[in-house]
Amino acid sequence: MNESSLFFEVDYYQINKSGMSVAGDVFLSTRSDDGSIVTVLADGLGSGIKANVLATLTAKMASVFVLNSMDIRKSAEIIIDTLPVCSERKIGYSTFTVARIEHDGNAYIIEYDNPGFVFLSNNGAEKISYERIDIKSSPVKKNFINYYSLHLERGNRLVFFSDGVTQSGMGCASTPLGWGSANTGEYIEKLVRSDPGIGAGKLSRSIVAQALAHDIYKAHDDITCEVICCREPRKLLLATGPSMHSDKDREMSERIRDFKGCRIICGGTTSQIVSRELDVEVEVDISKISRDIPPKSVMKGIDLVTEGILTLCRIAELLESGKFRNSDESNAATEAIALMMNNDIIYFLVGTRINEAHQDPSMPREIEIRRNIIKKIIYNLENKYLKKTELQFI
Protein backbone atom coordinates (compact mmCIF):
# COMPACT_ATOMS: atom_id res chain seq x y z
CA MET A 1 0.00 0.00 0.00
CA ASN A 2 1.49 3.37 -0.99
CA GLU A 3 1.82 6.60 0.97
CA SER A 4 -1.33 8.06 -0.59
CA SER A 5 -3.38 5.53 1.37
CA LEU A 6 -2.41 7.16 4.67
CA PHE A 7 -5.25 8.69 6.64
CA PHE A 8 -4.88 11.09 9.55
CA GLU A 9 -7.63 10.78 12.11
CA VAL A 10 -7.95 13.93 14.23
CA ASP A 11 -10.05 14.23 17.37
CA TYR A 12 -9.99 15.91 20.75
CA TYR A 13 -11.73 15.97 24.08
CA GLN A 14 -12.12 18.80 26.56
CA ILE A 15 -13.48 19.56 30.02
CA ASN A 16 -13.94 23.14 31.23
CA LYS A 17 -12.45 24.37 34.46
CA SER A 18 -14.91 23.71 37.26
CA GLY A 19 -17.54 26.46 37.44
CA MET A 20 -16.75 27.90 34.01
CA SER A 21 -19.35 27.93 31.22
CA VAL A 22 -16.71 28.22 28.48
CA ALA A 23 -13.19 26.87 28.15
CA GLY A 24 -10.06 28.99 28.00
CA ASP A 25 -8.54 26.32 25.75
CA VAL A 26 -9.52 26.33 22.07
CA PHE A 27 -8.97 23.59 19.51
CA LEU A 28 -9.39 24.12 15.77
CA SER A 29 -8.77 21.75 12.88
CA THR A 30 -9.21 22.16 9.15
CA ARG A 31 -8.08 20.72 5.83
CA SER A 32 -6.39 22.83 3.16
CA ASP A 33 -7.03 22.65 -0.56
CA ASP A 34 -3.91 20.51 -1.08
CA GLY A 35 -5.12 17.92 1.44
CA SER A 36 -2.92 19.02 4.34
CA ILE A 37 -4.40 19.05 7.84
CA VAL A 38 -3.84 22.04 10.11
CA THR A 39 -4.62 21.83 13.83
CA VAL A 40 -4.21 24.43 16.58
CA LEU A 41 -4.44 23.99 20.33
CA ALA A 42 -4.38 27.38 22.07
CA ASP A 43 -4.52 28.02 25.82
CA GLY A 44 -5.63 31.51 26.83
CA LEU A 45 -4.17 33.07 29.96
CA GLY A 46 -6.41 32.41 32.94
CA SER A 47 -9.85 30.94 32.35
CA GLY A 48 -13.37 31.82 31.29
CA ILE A 49 -14.55 34.28 28.65
CA LYS A 50 -11.39 36.41 28.45
CA ALA A 51 -9.13 33.39 28.05
CA ASN A 52 -11.50 31.93 25.45
CA VAL A 53 -11.48 35.11 23.36
CA LEU A 54 -7.68 35.31 23.34
CA ALA A 55 -7.25 31.60 22.61
CA THR A 56 -9.84 31.82 19.81
CA LEU A 57 -8.02 34.82 18.29
CA THR A 58 -4.74 32.89 18.41
CA ALA A 59 -6.18 29.70 16.95
CA LYS A 60 -7.95 31.46 14.08
CA MET A 61 -4.90 33.55 13.19
CA ALA A 62 -2.72 30.44 13.13
CA SER A 63 -5.21 28.52 10.98
CA VAL A 64 -5.52 31.32 8.44
CA PHE A 65 -1.77 31.90 8.18
CA VAL A 66 -0.84 28.25 7.78
CA LEU A 67 -3.73 27.46 5.43
CA ASN A 68 -2.55 30.27 3.18
CA SER A 69 0.86 28.60 2.89
CA MET A 70 2.69 31.02 5.15
CA ASP A 71 5.77 29.40 6.67
CA ILE A 72 4.70 27.89 9.98
CA ARG A 73 7.62 29.50 11.79
CA LYS A 74 6.82 32.94 10.42
CA SER A 75 3.18 32.42 11.39
CA ALA A 76 4.17 31.78 15.00
CA GLU A 77 6.34 34.92 15.11
CA ILE A 78 3.50 37.10 13.84
CA ILE A 79 1.04 35.62 16.34
CA ILE A 80 3.37 36.23 19.28
CA ASP A 81 4.08 39.79 18.14
CA THR A 82 0.35 40.45 17.63
CA LEU A 83 -1.04 39.11 20.88
CA PRO A 84 -1.32 41.46 23.86
CA VAL A 85 1.05 40.95 26.79
CA CYS A 86 0.14 40.66 30.45
CA SER A 87 1.50 43.86 32.03
CA GLU A 88 2.26 42.21 35.37
CA ARG A 89 3.65 38.81 34.38
CA LYS A 90 5.19 39.89 31.06
CA ILE A 91 3.93 36.78 29.29
CA GLY A 92 1.77 36.35 26.22
CA TYR A 93 -1.95 36.08 26.66
CA SER A 94 -2.08 32.71 24.92
CA THR A 95 0.17 29.71 24.45
CA PHE A 96 -0.31 27.50 21.42
CA THR A 97 0.74 24.45 19.42
CA VAL A 98 0.26 24.45 15.65
CA ALA A 99 0.64 21.33 13.49
CA ARG A 100 0.58 21.00 9.72
CA ILE A 101 0.34 17.41 8.49
CA GLU A 102 0.82 16.95 4.75
CA HIS A 103 -0.83 14.13 2.81
CA ASP A 104 2.49 12.27 2.42
CA GLY A 105 3.06 12.16 6.20
CA ASN A 106 5.47 15.09 6.55
CA ALA A 107 4.60 17.00 9.71
CA TYR A 108 5.65 20.45 10.89
CA ILE A 109 4.90 21.56 14.44
CA ILE A 110 5.36 24.85 16.30
CA GLU A 111 5.13 24.81 20.09
CA TYR A 112 4.91 27.99 22.14
CA ASP A 113 4.86 27.45 25.91
CA ASN A 114 2.43 24.51 25.80
CA PRO A 115 3.52 21.20 27.37
CA GLY A 116 5.67 19.14 25.03
CA PHE A 117 3.67 16.80 22.83
CA VAL A 118 4.02 13.02 22.79
CA PHE A 119 5.11 11.24 19.61
CA LEU A 120 4.32 7.54 19.52
CA SER A 121 6.04 5.52 16.82
CA ASN A 122 5.40 1.83 16.30
CA ASN A 123 8.08 1.21 18.96
CA GLY A 124 6.57 3.48 21.62
CA ALA A 125 7.22 7.07 22.70
CA GLU A 126 10.17 8.76 21.05
CA LYS A 127 11.86 12.09 21.65
CA ILE A 128 11.95 14.38 18.62
CA SER A 129 14.73 16.90 18.12
CA TYR A 130 13.67 20.47 17.51
CA GLU A 131 14.96 23.84 16.47
CA ARG A 132 14.69 26.62 19.02
CA ILE A 133 13.76 29.90 17.37
CA ASP A 134 14.26 33.16 19.22
CA ILE A 135 11.74 35.91 18.56
CA LYS A 136 13.79 38.98 19.33
CA SER A 137 11.02 41.46 18.59
CA SER A 138 8.71 39.90 21.16
CA PRO A 139 8.16 41.88 24.39
CA VAL A 140 7.20 38.78 26.37
CA LYS A 141 9.44 37.09 28.91
CA LYS A 142 9.50 33.77 27.05
CA ASN A 143 10.35 34.80 23.52
CA PHE A 144 11.22 31.56 21.78
CA ILE A 145 9.35 28.76 20.06
CA ASN A 146 10.17 25.11 19.37
CA TYR A 147 9.98 23.97 15.76
CA TYR A 148 9.70 20.27 14.88
CA SER A 149 9.90 18.54 11.53
CA LEU A 150 9.14 14.80 11.30
CA HIS A 151 7.61 12.15 9.09
CA LEU A 152 4.58 10.14 10.16
CA GLU A 153 4.09 6.53 9.14
CA ARG A 154 1.20 4.14 9.54
CA GLY A 155 0.63 3.40 13.24
CA ASN A 156 2.19 6.65 14.49
CA ARG A 157 0.36 9.03 16.82
CA LEU A 158 0.79 12.62 17.95
CA VAL A 159 -0.74 13.64 21.28
CA PHE A 160 -1.01 17.32 22.24
CA PHE A 161 -2.45 18.69 25.48
CA SER A 162 -2.83 21.85 27.51
CA ASP A 163 -1.24 22.30 30.93
CA GLY A 164 -4.57 21.33 32.48
CA VAL A 165 -3.40 17.77 31.80
CA THR A 166 0.18 17.96 33.06
CA GLN A 167 -0.70 20.11 36.09
CA SER A 168 -3.71 18.04 37.10
CA GLY A 169 -3.60 16.81 40.68
CA MET A 170 -1.23 19.57 41.79
CA GLY A 171 -1.18 19.79 45.57
CA CYS A 172 -2.51 16.28 46.09
CA ALA A 173 -0.51 13.81 48.15
CA SER A 174 0.12 11.46 45.23
CA THR A 175 0.93 14.22 42.71
CA PRO A 176 2.13 17.26 44.72
CA LEU A 177 3.71 18.88 41.63
CA GLY A 178 1.02 17.73 39.23
CA TRP A 179 0.79 14.72 36.95
CA GLY A 180 3.77 15.96 34.93
CA SER A 181 4.84 15.43 31.32
CA ALA A 182 6.81 12.24 31.96
CA ASN A 183 3.97 10.49 33.80
CA THR A 184 1.48 11.65 31.18
CA GLY A 185 3.65 10.19 28.43
CA GLU A 186 4.00 6.88 30.26
CA TYR A 187 0.24 6.70 30.73
CA ILE A 188 -0.34 7.31 27.01
CA GLU A 189 2.16 4.59 26.11
CA LYS A 190 0.41 2.17 28.45
CA LEU A 191 -2.99 2.93 26.92
CA VAL A 192 -1.75 2.30 23.39
CA ARG A 193 0.09 -0.90 24.36
CA SER A 194 -3.09 -2.28 25.92
CA ASP A 195 -5.22 -1.25 22.93
CA PRO A 196 -3.06 -0.90 19.78
CA GLY A 197 -6.06 0.00 17.64
CA ILE A 198 -7.33 2.77 19.91
CA GLY A 199 -8.69 5.71 17.93
CA ALA A 200 -8.07 9.40 18.40
CA GLY A 201 -11.41 10.05 20.10
CA LYS A 202 -11.12 7.27 22.66
CA LEU A 203 -7.48 8.06 23.41
CA SER A 204 -8.08 11.77 23.94
CA ARG A 205 -11.10 11.07 26.14
CA SER A 206 -9.14 8.57 28.25
CA ILE A 207 -6.29 11.03 28.85
CA VAL A 208 -8.66 13.83 29.88
CA ALA A 209 -10.59 11.45 32.14
CA GLN A 210 -7.38 10.45 33.93
CA ALA A 211 -6.37 14.10 34.39
CA LEU A 212 -9.81 14.86 35.82
CA ALA A 213 -9.42 11.93 38.24
CA HIS A 214 -6.18 13.50 39.48
CA ASP A 215 -8.14 16.68 40.17
CA ILE A 216 -10.58 14.55 42.19
CA TYR A 217 -13.25 15.13 39.52
CA LYS A 218 -13.26 18.91 39.92
CA ALA A 219 -11.10 20.37 37.17
CA HIS A 220 -8.66 22.99 38.49
CA ASP A 221 -8.06 24.25 34.94
CA ASP A 222 -9.38 23.63 31.45
CA ILE A 223 -8.29 20.14 30.39
CA THR A 224 -7.84 19.56 26.65
CA CYS A 225 -6.21 16.77 24.67
CA GLU A 226 -5.80 16.46 20.89
CA VAL A 227 -4.77 13.25 19.13
CA ILE A 228 -3.69 12.64 15.53
CA CYS A 229 -3.52 9.00 14.39
CA CYS A 230 -1.83 7.97 11.15
CA ARG A 231 -3.37 4.76 9.85
CA GLU A 232 -4.89 2.84 6.99
CA PRO A 233 -8.36 4.35 6.57
CA ARG A 234 -11.37 2.71 8.16
CA LYS A 235 -14.47 2.70 5.98
CA LEU A 236 -18.18 3.02 6.69
CA LEU A 237 -21.20 2.80 4.39
CA LEU A 238 -24.45 4.54 5.31
CA ALA A 239 -27.40 3.52 3.11
CA THR A 240 -30.68 5.37 3.35
CA GLY A 241 -33.83 5.52 1.29
CA PRO A 242 -35.25 3.16 -1.34
CA SER A 243 -33.80 3.39 -4.84
CA MET A 244 -35.66 5.43 -7.46
CA HIS A 245 -36.69 2.27 -9.32
CA SER A 246 -37.58 -0.94 -7.52
CA ASP A 247 -35.58 -3.00 -10.00
CA LYS A 248 -32.46 -1.54 -8.33
CA ASP A 249 -33.42 -2.96 -4.92
CA ARG A 250 -31.36 -6.09 -5.40
CA GLU A 251 -28.30 -4.16 -6.56
CA MET A 252 -28.52 -1.79 -3.58
CA SER A 253 -28.91 -4.67 -1.11
CA GLU A 254 -25.94 -6.57 -2.53
CA ARG A 255 -23.75 -3.47 -2.40
CA ILE A 256 -24.56 -3.11 1.28
CA ARG A 257 -23.90 -6.81 1.90
CA ASP A 258 -20.58 -6.84 0.02
CA PHE A 259 -19.16 -3.60 1.49
CA LYS A 260 -15.84 -4.14 3.26
CA GLY A 261 -16.23 -2.09 6.41
CA CYS A 262 -18.81 -0.83 8.88
CA ARG A 263 -22.42 -0.66 7.64
CA ILE A 264 -25.39 1.46 8.72
CA ILE A 265 -28.91 1.40 7.30
CA CYS A 266 -31.12 4.41 8.06
CA GLY A 267 -34.77 3.95 7.21
CA GLY A 268 -37.51 1.44 7.89
CA THR A 269 -38.36 1.01 4.21
CA THR A 270 -34.70 0.61 3.30
CA SER A 271 -34.15 -2.06 5.95
CA GLN A 272 -37.26 -3.94 4.85
CA ILE A 273 -36.01 -3.95 1.25
CA VAL A 274 -32.60 -5.30 2.30
CA SER A 275 -34.27 -7.86 4.56
CA ARG A 276 -36.46 -9.06 1.68
CA GLU A 277 -33.72 -9.09 -0.98
CA LEU A 278 -31.11 -10.83 1.17
CA ASP A 279 -33.54 -13.00 3.14
CA VAL A 280 -32.26 -11.69 6.48
CA GLU A 281 -34.60 -10.93 9.36
CA VAL A 282 -34.82 -7.42 10.83
CA GLU A 283 -36.23 -6.95 14.34
CA VAL A 284 -36.85 -3.83 16.40
CA ASP A 285 -34.68 -3.63 19.51
CA ILE A 286 -36.81 -2.30 22.37
CA SER A 287 -34.14 -2.80 25.04
CA LYS A 288 -33.26 0.90 24.85
CA ILE A 289 -36.10 3.37 24.31
CA SER A 290 -35.45 7.06 23.65
CA ARG A 291 -38.04 9.78 24.13
CA ASP A 292 -36.99 11.62 20.96
CA ILE A 293 -35.55 9.06 18.54
CA PRO A 294 -37.19 5.82 17.32
CA PRO A 295 -35.45 2.64 18.51
CA LYS A 296 -32.84 0.89 16.44
CA SER A 297 -33.32 -2.52 14.86
CA VAL A 298 -31.12 -5.57 14.56
CA MET A 299 -30.11 -7.26 11.31
CA LYS A 300 -27.40 -9.89 10.93
CA GLY A 301 -24.32 -8.50 9.17
CA ILE A 302 -25.30 -4.84 9.66
CA ASP A 303 -23.65 -2.81 12.42
CA LEU A 304 -26.60 -0.48 12.98
CA VAL A 305 -30.16 -0.23 11.64
CA THR A 306 -32.18 2.90 12.46
CA GLU A 307 -35.32 4.76 11.48
CA GLY A 308 -34.80 7.25 8.66
CA ILE A 309 -35.54 10.97 8.56
CA LEU A 310 -35.94 11.73 12.29
CA THR A 311 -32.70 9.93 13.12
CA LEU A 312 -30.80 11.57 10.24
CA CYS A 313 -32.04 15.00 11.33
CA ARG A 314 -30.77 14.35 14.85
CA ILE A 315 -27.41 13.15 13.51
CA ALA A 316 -27.11 16.37 11.49
CA GLU A 317 -27.97 18.52 14.54
CA LEU A 318 -25.45 16.79 16.80
CA LEU A 319 -22.66 16.96 14.23
CA GLU A 320 -23.35 20.67 13.71
CA SER A 321 -23.33 21.50 17.43
CA GLY A 322 -20.69 19.00 18.56
CA LYS A 323 -22.72 18.42 21.72
CA PHE A 324 -22.48 14.65 21.39
CA ARG A 325 -18.95 14.86 22.87
CA ASN A 326 -20.14 15.79 26.37
CA SER A 327 -23.68 14.50 26.24
CA ASP A 328 -25.28 11.59 28.07
CA GLU A 329 -27.77 11.17 25.21
CA SER A 330 -27.90 7.54 24.14
CA ASN A 331 -29.99 6.49 21.16
CA ALA A 332 -29.75 5.35 17.54
CA ALA A 333 -28.48 8.79 16.42
CA THR A 334 -25.61 8.92 18.92
CA GLU A 335 -24.68 5.32 18.10
CA ALA A 336 -24.49 6.25 14.42
CA ILE A 337 -22.24 9.22 15.23
CA ALA A 338 -19.98 7.02 17.36
CA LEU A 339 -19.50 4.74 14.35
CA MET A 340 -18.83 7.73 12.09
CA MET A 341 -16.23 9.11 14.47
CA ASN A 342 -14.47 5.75 14.57
CA ASN A 343 -14.21 5.57 10.78
CA ASP A 344 -12.36 7.71 8.28
CA ILE A 345 -13.96 7.42 4.85
CA ILE A 346 -17.75 7.48 4.90
CA TYR A 347 -19.71 6.42 1.84
CA PHE A 348 -23.34 7.47 1.44
CA LEU A 349 -25.67 5.44 -0.75
CA VAL A 350 -28.85 7.47 -0.98
CA GLY A 351 -32.08 6.29 -2.56
CA THR A 352 -34.08 8.94 -4.41
CA ARG A 353 -37.61 7.57 -4.25
CA ILE A 354 -39.93 10.08 -2.58
CA ASN A 355 -41.44 8.83 0.65
CA GLU A 356 -45.03 10.10 0.75
CA ALA A 357 -45.01 10.23 4.55
CA HIS A 358 -42.56 13.12 4.42
CA GLN A 359 -44.90 15.25 2.31
CA ASP A 360 -47.51 15.34 5.06
CA PRO A 361 -47.86 19.01 6.17
CA SER A 362 -48.59 17.86 9.72
CA MET A 363 -45.05 16.47 10.05
CA PRO A 364 -42.53 18.64 11.98
CA ARG A 365 -41.24 21.56 9.91
CA GLU A 366 -37.58 20.63 10.48
CA ILE A 367 -37.98 17.40 8.52
CA GLU A 368 -36.20 18.04 5.21
CA ILE A 369 -35.85 16.03 2.06
CA ARG A 370 -33.44 13.16 2.71
CA ARG A 371 -30.81 14.27 0.24
CA ASN A 372 -30.53 17.73 1.81
CA ILE A 373 -30.07 16.23 5.27
CA ILE A 374 -27.33 13.96 3.93
CA LYS A 375 -25.55 16.91 2.32
CA LYS A 376 -25.63 18.73 5.66
CA ILE A 377 -24.18 15.67 7.41
CA ILE A 378 -21.46 15.40 4.77
CA TYR A 379 -20.56 19.09 5.10
CA ASN A 380 -20.04 18.76 8.84
CA LEU A 381 -18.15 15.47 8.60
CA GLU A 382 -15.72 17.00 6.12
CA ASN A 383 -15.31 20.46 7.63
CA LYS A 384 -15.67 19.89 11.37
CA TYR A 385 -14.33 16.35 11.73
CA LEU A 386 -11.95 16.06 8.72
CA LYS A 387 -13.57 12.90 7.43
CA LYS A 388 -13.49 11.97 3.76
CA THR A 389 -16.85 11.24 2.18
CA GLU A 390 -18.32 9.93 -1.06
CA LEU A 391 -21.95 10.38 -2.07
CA GLN A 392 -23.90 8.36 -4.61
CA PHE A 393 -27.58 8.54 -5.40
CA ILE A 394 -29.42 5.47 -6.60
Q: Percentage of the chain surpassing pLDDT 70?
A: 91
Domains in the chain with CATH codes? 3-231 (3.60.40.10), 235-393 (no CATH)
Mean local confidence (pLDDT), 32-61: 90
| 255 membership: H or E segment, kind and range | helix 249-258
Average per-residue pLDDT for the chain: 88
Q: What's this model's pTM, rounded to 2 decimal places?
A: 0.85
What is the tens place of the pLDDT at every residue in 146-176?
Answer: 999 999 999 999 999 999 999 999 988 888 9
Contact status, residue 97 vs residue 41, Cβ threshold 8 Å = yes
Question: Distance between CA 131 and CA 119 in Å, rounded?
Answer: 16
- Residues 148 and 107: their CA atoms lie apart, in Å, by 8
Displacement of CA 342 from its chain's centroid (Å)? 9
CA distance 52 to 338: 28
Question: What is the structure's pLDDT at 92?
Answer: 56
pLDDT > 50? residue 203: yes
For residue range 53-82, list pLDDT tens digits in order: 989 998 998 888 888 877 888 888 888 777
Rounded to 5 degrees, φ, ψ at 201 are -65, -50
Q: How far apart are CA 314 and CA 319, in angstroms?
A: 9
CA–CA dist 311, 334 (Å, integer): 9
Of 373, 246, 388, nearest in space to 307 by CA: 373
Cα Rg, the chain, nearest whole Å: 23
Q: What is the pLDDT of residues 209-264, one digit of tens each?
A: 999 999 999 999 999 999 999 988 999 999 999 888 888 899 999 999 999 999 99
Instruction: Give the single-character DSSP code of 5.
Output: G
What digits encode the pLDDT tens for the residues 97-143?
999 999 899 999 999 989 999 999 988 889 999 999 887 665 555 67
What is the H or E stretch that residue 310 is in?
A: helix 309-321
DSSP string, 267-298: -HHHHHHHHHHHT--EEE--SS--SSSPPPEE
